Amino acid sequence: MAKYHCITLKVKKGELEGFDKLRQPEQNILRNGNVVYIYKDTKSKKVYIGQTKHFTKRNRQHYNGQDEKFNIVADFDQVIVLISSYFNGSALDDVESQLITYFMADNPKSKKQLVQYDNDEIMNRTYGNSVNDYREREKVASEVILPFWEKELYPNGWVSTKTLEELRNGALVKYSPIKELTYQQMNYLEEILSNPDKSMVINGDAGTGKTVLLTHLVAKLLKEKPNERIAVVIQPNWIKTAKEIFRVYGMNSSNLTIATSTQLINAAEDYDVVIVDESHKLSRKFSKQMASFNNVYKGRFARDGNHLEALRKIGRQMVLMYDVLQAIRPANMTRAQFNEATKDFEQRYLTTQFRIQAPAGKNYSSEDFVNGIKYLLYKDTGLLKQTNFNPDFDRTVFHDRDSDAYFGYFETEPLKNLIHWVEEDRNFNPEHINRVLGGLVEPWKQADGKDPSITHWHEGNIKRRWNSTQENWINTEDDDAEDQIGSVFAVQGIDLNKVGVLVGNDLQVDAKGRLFGNPVNFHNVNGKFSKDDDSPENAQEFTLFVLNIYYILMTRGIDGIRLGFWKNDAFKKYMKEILEII
């Protein structure tokens, strides 16, 4: 039985045509009931999305001459009103923000702003309803929003994307600056906005919503402090996506700069707020460093030893998104440097796992998986106390042998089996973005990306090459895009659906049963120290780089992960022992 009902009416000069012909219960709910509504201008294709408890009254307000969007921007001639027994204050907020997000993502290439909504209401909903705030949220998503989109909006020409799943996998939905936040995220956002002289480090594991918080923070700053200059520091592999998000959501402003740390420091302009995504990847002055990264230390930055020290000079307030487990190169700032540069910053910690979704009906959670992976990789490093680690994780997430279990592994033919696993899922879920990823254990050159005939991974008759590019690799148009093996440089900060991970022999087990990184089997020259820097301290740091790489690869998957052991039976044995896999 349907859990929603929708009413479509024509609108002429603000009048709802055919209203008096509706059934009495329909008239009553439009006069005095919780609804979400969408106006449409059939000529310009513009829409306006809102929610109200008194639709007929709200309709008159829109057309009373005071609402610019209804008198100048568009000529709305049709409206569809969505009602449901689930609708209350929390559900209305949720459905409204989700529909705005989906409509934005439905036509992202349009240069015109096709989706209108009440910016003040959405952006200023401080301390409103969080994503976990009402009991029926999953039912609303599956029984109201999904069928409303796929059975009403799409067949009747209101939207161009047939299924919501196609949209959900895109960055425009995942990082939407108007989707609901958790109370924890909202509290941090308000704290940043209310304390402009306070700088902050937002610590969080992979998938805990650091980037979502970033987009919301930018949106709120642009709305509430339009005269302040804001800079957002993005890694090169994500900068194109970030600019697209801010453009589509109408966040273009002359006071907003989106750039890499190198670009920002070289420009040497001052900002009220500097927000840094993935600050664990900020560079330091180092011999094995790209020349452009080292060339910033001049003028007012001549005495600085890393990019963070330079950024602090151009930003009055700093907000850093940070994960201590995601630094992957000697050229990244050291933990000691980061701690020194942020010793006067406030430290906050995100704890909710968003990316990883444990299958329905399982007793284990996404947090169990992340805590287990952290324990597997870092139990002997001393780093776990610097993270949000819970030692009481449920190990059954690693024992589940069901074919649809979140975690699994293959004993033999790792390349063949991982490829088969991700390709099989595409048959059932064509909209999924699945990839096989690998540790840096096969030689490669950046120039190889231009020649598809050069392959790097070989097993039997299977030949596969590394990712052809690091920037925006997931969206590359190469003929063999889905077949390429992804490196950490191409997927750090990226969400995937199902992930196969080739664990190579750069990660080995010593005589005392501890993991260590073996530089002999590690094929990225800028990822290890030179022989002149051979010391126990650097050897331990290199081990952490290798561990961090696999931590990043193993926490990309939303819907599942499988491991394959690439010339590395020792790690397979170690994994079974540590996670008590029988």
What is the residue-wise DSSP string for 486-513?
Answer: EPHHHHTT--EEEEEEEE-TTEEE-TTS
- The three-state secondary structure class of 576 is helix
Superfamily of domain 183-350: P-loop containing nucleotide triphosphate hydrolases (3.40.50.300)
Those residues with Cβ within 8 angstroms of residue 15's Cβ, 6 or more apart along the chain or in another chain: none
- Closest to 124 (Cα-Cα) out of 49, 196, 224: 224
Going from the C-alpha of 1 to that of each of 4, 5, 461, the distances in angstroms are: 9, 11, 52
Burial class (CB in 10 A: 0-12, 13-18, 19+), 113: middle
Q: Are strands 47-52 and 271-276 parallel, antiparallel or unpaired?
A: unpaired
Identify the pLDDT of residue 132: 46
Which distant-in-sequence residues (6+ apart) come within 8 Å of 495 by Cβ?
169, 174, 207, 355, 433, 556, 558
Q: What is the pLDDT of residue 131?
A: 47
Question: Domains of the chain: which residue ranges?
Answer: 4-168, 183-350, 366-578
What is the model's pLDDT at position 513? 94
Place of tokens 């809102």: 50
Other Cβ atoms within 10 Å of 292 Cβ, number: 12
The DSSP bridge pattern shows strands 507-509 and 515-517 to be: antiparallel
Give the amino acid at 188. Answer: Y
Burial 65-101 (b: 16+ CB within 10 A, else e): eeeebbeeebebebbbbbbbebbeebbbbbbbbbbbb
Residue 53: closest CA among 38, 36, 67, 40: 36
Instruction: Find the largest Cα–Cα distance for the chain.
Output: 85
Strand partners, 438: 502
d(CA 389, CA 205): 9
* Closest to 259 in 3D by CA, of 279, 280, 235, 283: 235
The number of beta carbons lying within 10 Å of the beta carbon of residue 196 is: 14
* CA–CA gap between residue 99 and residue 109 (Å, rounded): 18
Q: Is 577 helix (H, G, I), strand (E, B) or coil?
A: helix
**What are the structure tokens assigned to 7, written together?**
């009413």
* Helical residues (DSSP H) of 195-330, grouped into ranges: 210-224, 239-248, 261-267, 291-294, 307-314
For residue 158, what is the DSSP state?
S
Query: Which residues of the chain register pLDDT less than 70?
Result: 1, 71-74, 110-112, 119-134, 288-289, 531-533
Calpha distance 277→225 (Å, rounded):
21
Torsion, Cα 385 389 394 395, to 10 degrees, reads: -60
The whole-angstrom distance between residue 63's C-alpha and the CA centroid of its chain comes to 39
Single out the residue of 581, 414, 417 nearest to residue 505, CA to CA.
414
Instruction: Show the DSSP H helices in 144-238 as ranges.
Output: 146-147, 164-168, 171-174, 183-194, 210-224
Element (H, E) at 47: strand 47-52
Place of tokens 């927000």: 275
**What tokens does 225 get?**
């402090």
Tokens, residue 506: 């750069």
Helices (H) and strands (E) in the chain, counts: 21, 21
pLDDT of the residue at 123: 56
Q: Which structure tokens are listed for 411?
A: 């004993």
pLDDT at 110: 66
Rounded CA-CA distance 542/330 in Å is: 8
Residues 6+ apart with CB under 8 A from 109: none
Which amino acid appears at position 233 of this protein?
A: V
Residue 339: predicted pLDDT = 93
- State the number of CA atoms in the 13 A half-sphere of 513 facing the CB: 8
Cβ neighbours of residue 414 closer than 8 Å, sequence gap 6 or more: 459, 502, 564, 565, 566
